[in-house]
Amino acid sequence: MFCRLWAKELGDIKPVLDKHNIKLVGIGVEEAGSKDFVDGKYFDGDLYYVENISTYQLLGFKRFNLVTILTSLFWKQSREAMVKGRAMGLGGDLKGDWVQTGGAVLVEKGGKLLRHFQQSGPSDHLSNLDILKHFGLENEYNPETMANKKPEPAECTTEAKP
């Protein structure tokens, strides 16, 4: 669910990136689950996958093990992301390598590295505002539509509402 959520959120800034000829590219760990990801339209950019995990290792993206991945699901950030993902109807699956974390590599035209971000946990990600700042586009940020907002807390009452 976490990959789907971040991918969907990136779609919020895709029009700004497109306007400035900035390409949005996703690279998955493997082909498993990629068809569902594409068919679900979770990512509004070019998608690729690597057949060799060494690409992720070279980028410093860490792998969890069963214990650490399960523990990370109890982190506040992970719980908030799960609530948000469920509210968006994203769901999730256990296909593929679900213990591999990723990140983001922001590169400007000509190949200069602007930011190399490594996830510290499965729900960790760069905010849309941070991404736009790295390209000098923070003035085009709209917090109403691009804020990676947390879902509004549900109001619990004992009264039924129509």
Residue 161 in this model has a pLDDT that exceeds 70: no
| 121 band by pLDDT with thresholds 50, 70 and 90 | confident
Domain boundaries, the chain: 2-146
In the numeric block, which tokens belong to residue 77? 């950030």
Q: What is the pTM of this model?
A: 0.75
Residue with tokens 């919020």: 12
Q: How far is CA 157 from CA 86, 150, 151, in A?
A: 21, 21, 18
pLDDT digits (tens, 9 = 90+) for 30-48: 676 777 777 888 888 888 8
